[in-house]
Structure 1
Amino acid sequence: MLLNHRITRITVGILLLTLAVVVLLPGLTGFTSLDGTVNARFAVINAPIDGEIGQAPPRIGTPVAENETLLTIRNERVNRAILASLQAEGKTAADRVTALERERDELVALRNQLAHRLEQFKNATIASLERELRIMQKRVEVSRAQDVVARVDLDRRQELESKGIFTRKMVEAAAAAGAATGGEVEISNLSLDLVEQRLMALREGIFIVGDGQNDVPYSRQRQDEVIVRINDINTRIVENSTRADQIERQLEEEEKRVRSLEQAEIASPFSGVVWTRNVVNGSNVILNNELLRILDCRELFVDILVPEVDYDEIYPGREAEVRLLGRSEVFKGKVQAVKGSSAVVEKDNLAAKEPEAKERDARIRVQLLPSALNTDFGNFCQVGRSAQVRISRHNLQLTQWIKGLWFNLF
């Protein structure tokens, strides 16, 4: 029979051997995973303020560029009480400074008037004392002349008394008259010194108060009071100016805060595609409400599962080949991370589900190198699509396989 023919048996054996080689060869020459999923992260855009959506965000699947405005939020119910209070306080401080400056200018004018009056009085008093000084000098000259005459008369009478012509009484009368003229000379000299002293002091600005000079202390005292008042006003002007400057800076910060709460424009943090959106035009939102999600196509990766026995053979940096299910095109990639079966996997903002790990399955993440997938925004960069991943072995490692088999058997 044909089935018992030798050629037929040889042919069947060769076919079975070929089938066995085809089945076992991929496992011997590399690691292949059929449960990979193209994945990427997305950015969650939250509401920065309370308000109403003014410009609706782009629809799902719309490509967006970096810094492109996605939507706007308007808030008409911003609390402006603090801003109004600062504006009123700032205006009050500025008005107070203006009023104090006006009062200071009036006091400066009054001080100048008092100084002018005092200078006029000083000049008039100096002129009066100079005339009085000249009069006193003449009086001194007259007194000295009278004293000389009295001394001559006394000498003459004393001489005549010695001759018996004048009596002693007449001589004593002449002596008394001489003493009186001498006293007048001394008084005149003292009066002259007093006038010179007053004149010298007055030229230096020191008024020696006397009869008819009651206005001098009042003018000087009034001028000193005005100067003290001006200094006090200058201090208050500085204080209010400083306060006005502080309020102005606070007002600028408060205006910035109010503007930031009145309206907000939300821009895309990177170039990508709208993954989901939760609001429409006119929606009311509150702070930190999720508005939409932007898919980040800049870094695509594939998560796969392989038996943990091959953990040491797959390490970061290993090259890999990725083929989307249903497509013949092969994309290059590199192993980014390797985690054991018992590792705790933190949930990330991933757009697609990770493959469900089974017992003793290592989780491998393969980073896709830049390709046409990164700009395929119309198809969401193929995120969520199933993929096959193959990582080639460096050698067959039969010795290691036999040792492992021996360990399992015994």
Structure 2
Amino acid sequence: AARNGSFLGDSYNDRPSSVQREEEMRQRAGDLEADLARTDTEIAWLANEIKVEEIRFADLSEANITTPVAGRVWEMMTSPGEDVQAGQPLLKVLDCSGAVITANVTESVYNRLQLGDLATFEPNDGGELISGTVVNLTGAAGAPANLAINPDALSKEPYRVTVALRDAAARACTVGRTGRVVFARHETAP
């Protein structure tokens, strides 16, 4: 101890206080360097976590939607940036694979019609005649909720006839065309 410059006695140390302070500062510097290394490691780990979460957020914030039918978007039921839940309706799609026409008719016309009767749609815009077949007679009942345009908005007649179109011209997925439906006359059997 004498060779090293330390003088020891009973319960005291005879080293100069500046040497003691130097050792304290070296120890404190070592502690701070260890804290800095730990903080740098934590920052690197958190930066990686941020990148992972940004990728995860991007994956969860967008989704490709595949419709079971060929068609076009009729109505958007959400807004950009809106949070949506599983099972929530997002949009309405028009099924363009088989077009139908809903005709509002008088009671006397309705009573003459049968499923399978032939009909022709004459567009008011002067387009080609489109032929079809009567597939539904709803009478005074409400129109199906899955039609693009609710027939109630078009006429006050309570009798409705749905005609499935057969021609390729019907596949153009035009909605809201107006015109006249002409039903084929029945021949009465003797």
Q: Are positions 1:329 and 2:121 aligned together?
A: no
In 2, the alpha carbon distance for the partners of 1:300 and 1:315 equals: 20
Q: Are positions 1:383 and 2:182 aligned together?
A: no
Aligned with residue 273 of structure 1, among 69, 72, 77: 72
In 2, the alpha carbon distance for the partners of 1:268 and 1:292 equals: 10
Amino acid at match of 1:74: L
Relative distance call for 1:366 and 1:346 in structure 2 (3 A) is closer
Matched residue, 1:211: none
Relative distance call for 1:364 and 1:347 in structure 2 (3 A) is closer
The structure that is strand-richer by fraction is 2
Match of 2:90, SS state, is: strand
For residue 309 of structure 1, report the CA deviation from its aligned partner. Answer: 2.2
Q: Are positions 1:300 and 2:99 aligned together?
A: yes
Q: Deviations over 1:295-340 (max 9, x none)?
A: 1111211111222123342111111111211124100111111233
Counting only pairs closer than 5 Å after superposition, residues 44-193 of structure 1 correspond to structure 2 as 74=60
Matched length: 130
Relative distance call for 1:273 and 1:264 in structure 2 (3 A) is closer
For residue 388 of structure 1, report the CA deviation from its aligned partner. Answer: 1.0
Contact persistence 1:279–1:291 (CA under 8 A)? no
In percent, how many aligned pairs have the same letter? 28
In 1, the alpha carbon distance for the partners of 2:169 and 2:109 equals: 31
Amino acid at match of 1:368: L
Matched residue, 2:142: 345
In 2, the alpha carbon distance for the partners of 1:352 and 1:284 equals: 28
In 2, the alpha carbon distance for the partners of 1:290 and 1:371 equals: 31
Match of 1:310, SS state, is: helix
The structure that is helix-richer by fraction is 1
Match of 2:122, SS state, is: strand
Contact persistence 1:322–1:331 (CA under 8 A)? yes
Matched residue, 1:371: 168
In 1, the alpha carbon distance for the partners of 2:139 and 2:149 equals: 21
Aligned with residue 393 of structure 1, among 176, 180, 185: 185
In 2, the alpha carbon distance for the partners of 1:351 and 1:389 equals: 18
Unaligned runs of 5+ in 1: 1-51, 55-72, 76-262, 398-410
In 2, the alpha carbon distance for the partners of 1:392 and 1:336 equals: 14
Relative distance call for 1:283 and 1:328 in structure 2 (3 A) is closer
CA RMSD of aligned residues (A): 2.8
Relative distance call for 1:346 and 1:313 in structure 2 (3 A) is closer
Matched residue, 1:228: none
Matched residue, 1:362: 159
Q: Deviations over 1:247-291 (max 9, x none)?
A: xxxxxxxxxxxxxxxx854322221112222233x4432233332
Aligned with residue 89 of structure 2, among 277, 290, 300: 290
Contact persistence 2:130–2:169 (CA under 8 A)? no
For residue 372 of structure 1, report the CA deviation from its aligned partner. Answer: 2.6
Q: Deviations over 1:38-74 (max 9, x none)?
A: xxxxxxxxxxxxxx995xxxxxxxxxxxxxxxxxx60
TM-score (norm 1): 0.29
Match of 2:159, SS state, is: strand
Contact persistence 1:357–1:363 (CA under 8 A)? no
In 2, the alpha carbon distance for the partners of 1:53 and 1:389 equals: 52
Amino acid at match of 1:302: I
Contact persistence 1:53–1:285 (CA under 8 A)? no
Match of 2:150, SS state, is: coil
Amino acid at match of 2:142: V
Unaligned runs of 5+ in 2: 1-55
TM-score (norm 2): 0.57
